[in-house]
Amino acid sequence: MSELKDCPALKYYDFKPVEHGRVCPRYTAVLGRSDDDGIGIEELDTLQLELETLLSSASRRLRALEEQRQILTDWQDKKGDKRFLKLGAS
Instruction: Output the DSSP codes for 23-88.
Output: H-HHHHHHHTS-TTT---GGGHHHHHHHHHHHHHHHHHHHHHHHHHHHHHHHHHHHHHHHHHHHHH
15 or 33, higher pLDDT: 33
Checking if the pLDDT of 37 tops 70, the result is yes
DSSP 3-state assignment of 22? helix
pLDDT at res. 44: 95
> What residue ranges do the domains of the chain occupy?
2-89
Residues 6 or more apart whose Cβ sits within 8 Å of residue 6: 75, 79
Q: What is the pTM of this model?
A: 0.67
Mean per-residue pLDDT, 69-78: 84
90 vs 54, residue with greater confidence: 54
Instruction: Give me the pLDDT at residue 86, please.
Output: 52
Across the chain, mean pLDDT equals 82
User: Residue 74 and residue 76: Cα distance in Å, rounded?
Assistant: 5
Can you give the C-alpha Rg of the chain in angstroms?
A: 23
